[in-house]
Structure 1
Amino acid sequence: MAGFWGKRKREQEELDAQDADLARRAQKALVSADERIRLTTDELAFAEAELGPGSTKDLREALDAVRTHLQEAFHLHQLNHDEIPDTPEELRTRNARIAQLCEWAEELLDDRTTALAVPIERARRAPEIIAKVRADAARLRLRIPDARSTVQRLAARYSAHALAQVEANPAEAEQLLGFAEHSAAVAERRREAGQREQANMALEASTESVRRAETLIDAVETFEVEALRAESTLAAIIEDSRDDLTVALREPHSPGVSDAIVGLQSALAALPAAGVNTDPFEQLSRLREANAGLDAAIAAARERAARVIPPLEHVRHSIDDADRQLAVARDVIAGHRGWIGADARTRLAEAERVRADLDRYLGTSASAATTIDEDHREQAMAMARRAAFLASEALQLAQRDIDAARPQPDQWGGPGYGQQQGWGGGRRGGGSDLMGGILGGLVIGSLLDGFLD
């Protein structure tokens, strides 16, 4: 007994220590959150001066929400120290809620102030950024004549379709640079007028315009390099494609391989003659697609040749066997519905589902199909055998349920229900003989199918 009370005392001491620690953490969190509100209020005033009220809306709303919820935390702390006695459970619940509210408040304010850090830094560096925008615009303007010359040089070699992606780039870049310089001037004037929000929007537009203009000019130079690389790759692909055609013509000509050969031959024939402006990217894409199609067709043909394809007769025997076993299982379960449990019914339902999937897989009734494509025979046979196996299991489980439900001879003092005295003192059960005959017929059917296989 002394050991029991000693254990209870230690547990209570541990719980009291945990409650005291929770109370200290709640008080510390409350002080920290309150100080964070005061600090963030000052940060909000500074951010509004730099960015304007529109950009600081999220932080202002977060502060309002935190103040509201922190009032709840202060109220809970007051209840912990009023004249009304509290139970340990009440104190524990309030302190946990105070800690939760304070943690949420600090996380929310952290998230909102972090989101404003980059815009505030950009606003502080506005004069420096404006100067950089103007310098970058002047530097990029010097590259526009070279970009125009490059486009003219490319037009003599490549088709208009190929050049469509870069032909207008120099003109568009020049317009963007003009817009960037105008936006920088607007940002400067709005900043001097104290309209910080509008100034920041114009500053962001100017920096983005310079970035886009540089991307367009770079794209012209990149196009020339990539076009030369595409032409070099195209020559290698043409040579590989001709070699692949030579190999493919020696392969067994299944319909898939024949179609792929025609596709690759057409892609090669569509290549323009020397001296004609071309689109190397489009030609390379078309030739790669045709080449990959031929590779896939040959691989499929080789796989099919290496795989033993079941004869159509064997597949049909498997389907017939599945249908026969399903029919018998349905009849037995339907004829003894009150005796059949969930296991047999589940196996039958699964067998019927697999059999229905087989019809959907073949796109027609499997039992009525006059032919089955070679690519589908292996899967069709596997599905049919699965359905037959499940139907056989359903029949065996149904027999188990019927045997378990039928009254035994010692229950009634005579022959079992549904049984009669046989010749020579033997017993013959009508139900058992029926099931035995069914099962025997299925076994014989399966053996015959085995011989046919």
Structure 2
Amino acid sequence: MAGFWGKRKRDDHELQAQDADLAKRAGTALVAADERIRVTADELVFAQAELGSDATAELSVALATVRQHLGEAFRLNQLNHDEIPDTAEELRSRNGRIVQLCDWAEDVLDERTSALAEKIARARRAPEIIAGVRADAARLRVRIPHAHDTVERLAARYAREALAQVESNPAEAEQLLGFAEHSAGVAERRREAGQREQANLALEASTESVRRASKLLDAVETFEVEALRAESTLAAIVEDSRDDVAVALREPHSPAVTAAIADLQAALAVLPPAGVNTDPFTQLDRLREANAGLDAAIAAARERAARPIPPLEHVRHAIDDADRQLAVARDVIAGHRGWIGADARTRLAESERIRLDLDRYLGMSAAAVTVIDEDHREQAMAMARRAAYLAGEALQLAQRDINASRPQDPGQWGGQGWGGGRRGGGSDVMGGILGGLVIGSILDGIFD
């Protein structure tokens, strides 16, 4: 007993020490959060002066929300120190809530101020950025005459359609550089007038315009290299395509292969003769597409040749077998509904679903179909065989349920059962049904 009380006293001391530490943390967190709000309020004033009220709206809303919740933390702390006695549990709960509110406040303000940090730094560097925009614009202007010359040189070699993507780039770059210089001047004047938000918008527009102008001029130089590469690749693709046509003519033919060969031959026939301005990009794309189509058609033909198409007669036998097995399974289950469990019913339902899907796949009742094209025979046979298999399973499971429901005593229902023996008569009837199905399947297999 002395050991028990000693342990309890130690536990009380540890809990009191934890409560004291939590109270200290709550006080420290409350002071830190309050100071953080004051600092952030000063930063908000500066950010509004640099960026405007719209850019700092989220920080303003966050600051108001944090102040509201910190007010709750101060009220909880006041309750801890008023004249009304509190239990240890009440103090512990309040201090935990104070720490939670203060940590949340710090996180929210960190997130909002971090989002504005880059914009504020950019605003402080506005004079430097404006000077950089003007220097970049002057540097890019020197490249414009060279870009015009490059486009003229390319026009003598490539078709107008090929040059469409870069033909107007030099003129557009010149317009963008003029807009960038104008926007830089606007940003400078608005900043001097204290209209910081408008100044920042104009500064962003000027930097984006310089960036776009640089990309347009780079594209002119890149086009020349890519066009030469496309021409080289096109020559190799043309040679490969002619070889592919020769090989394809020796492959097993199907309508898809014949159409793919014709498409590739047409793409080769429209290639311009030497000395004519070309569009190597378009020609290369068309040849690649025609080549890919021919490869896919040949692969499909080879696969079909390796897997013969089922004769129509075999497909018809498979459909008839599925219908026969479904009919038997339906009759048996319908005649013994009170004894049939979920397994047999599930197999029957799935078999019926697949059989209906087969009708939809063929576009009409499969039992009435007299012609099935070669592209659909294999799938139709697979669906019919699956439906027949599930119907057979449903019948076997139904027989299991029926047998399990019969009394084990042969004489319970009157000697040998229903007129000469239920066990003998019932089993013989069901055995005849199952035997007929097996024989029917064997006969169908002979045709396969």
TM-score by length of 2: 0.90
1:445 and 2:443 equivalent? no
CA deviation profile, 1:55-106 (whole Å, cap 9, x unmatched): 1111111111111122223334444555253473x55654554444333322
Whole-Å Cα distance in 2 between the matches of residues 443 and 61 of structure 1? 79
* Letter of the 1:415 counterpart: G
Instruction: Describe how 1:304-453 pairs up with structure 2 within 5 A.
Output: 304-409=304-409, 413-415=412-414, 419-420=417-418, 422=420, 428=423, 431-453=426-448
Whole-Å Cα distance in 2 between the matches of residues 195 and 220 of structure 1? 39
**CA apart distance, 1:251:** 0.9
**CA apart distance, 1:389:** 1.9
**CA apart distance, 1:115:** 1.1
**CA apart distance, 1:174:** 0.9
**Matched residue SS, 1:339:** coil
**Matched residue SS, 1:251:** coil
Report if aligned partners of 1:325, 1:392 keep a CA contact under 8 Å in 2. Answer: yes
* Letter of the 1:438 counterpart: I
CA deviation profile, 1:355-403 (whole Å, cap 9, x unmatched): 2333334444333333444444433333222222221222222222233
User: Residues 400 and 428 from structure 1, CA distance in 2 versus in 1: closer, same or farther, beyond 3 angstroms?
Assistant: closer
Choose 72-81 or 327-336, whichever is displaced more. Answer: 72-81
User: Residues 47 and 432 from structure 1, CA distance in 2 versus in 1: closer, same or farther, beyond 3 angstroms?
Assistant: same
**CA apart distance, 1:20:** 6.6
Instruction: Describe how 1:177-326 pairs up with structure 2 within 5 A.
Output: 177-326=177-326
Q: Name stretches of at least 5 consecutive residues in structure 2 with no aligned partner.
A: none
Report if aligned partners of 1:409, 1:415 keep a CA contact under 8 Å in 2. Answer: no
**Matched residue SS, 1:391:** helix
- Which residue in the other structure is 1:175 paired with? 175
Whole-Å Cα distance in 2 between the matches of residues 15 and 364 of structure 1? 80
User: Residues 373 and 106 from structure 1, CA distance in 2 versus in 1: closer, same or farther, beyond 3 angstroms?
Assistant: farther
Q: Name stretches of at least 5 consecutive residues in structure 1 with no aligned partner.
A: none
Instruction: Describe how 1:39-188 pairs up with structure 2 within 5 A.
Output: 39-82=39-82, 83-86=84-87, 88=89, 94-188=94-188
Report if aligned partners of 1:421, 1:428 keep a CA contact under 8 Å in 2. Answer: no
TM-score by length of 1: 0.89
CA deviation profile, 1:188-247 (whole Å, cap 9, x unmatched): 111111111111111111100111111111111111111111111111111110111111
CA deviation profile, 1:277-324 (whole Å, cap 9, x unmatched): 221111111111001111111111122222344333333322222222
Whole-Å Cα distance in 2 between the matches of residues 325 and 349 of structure 1? 13
Whole-Å Cα distance in 2 between the matches of residues 24 and 355 of structure 1? 75
Whole-Å Cα distance in 2 between the matches of residues 414 and 367 of structure 1? 42
**Matched residue SS, 2:418:** strand
* Letter of the 1:41 counterpart: A
Whole-Å Cα distance in 1 between the matches of residues 18 and 417 of structure 2? 75
**Matched residue SS, 1:420:** coil
CA deviation profile, 1:394-434 (whole Å, cap 9, x unmatched): 22222222333345548x95438x93352xxx554654444
Whole-Å Cα distance in 2 between the matches of residues 7 and 18 of structure 1? 17
Choose 122-131 or 354-363, whichever is displaced more. Answer: 354-363
* Letter of the 1:176 counterpart: L
User: Residues 260 and 191 from structure 1, CA distance in 2 versus in 1: closer, same or farther, beyond 3 angstroms?
Assistant: same
* Letter of the 2:358 counterpart: L
Q: CA RMSD in A?
A: 3.0
**Matched residue SS, 1:53:** coil
Whole-Å Cα distance in 1 between the matches of residues 111 and 412 of structure 2? 85
Whole-Å Cα distance in 1 between the matches of residues 363 and 101 of structure 2? 62
User: Residues 359 and 22 from structure 1, CA distance in 2 versus in 1: closer, same or farther, beyond 3 angstroms?
Assistant: farther
Report if aligned partners of 1:332, 1:398 keep a CA contact under 8 Å in 2. Answer: yes
User: Residues 427 and 358 from structure 1, CA distance in 2 versus in 1: closer, same or farther, beyond 3 angstroms?
Assistant: closer
**Matched residue SS, 1:319:** helix
User: Residues 427 and 393 from structure 1, CA distance in 2 versus in 1: closer, same or farther, beyond 3 angstroms?
Assistant: closer
**CA apart distance, 1:331:** 1.9
Whole-Å Cα distance in 2 between the matches of residues 69 and 314 of structure 1? 79
- Which residue in the other structure is 1:37 paired with? 37
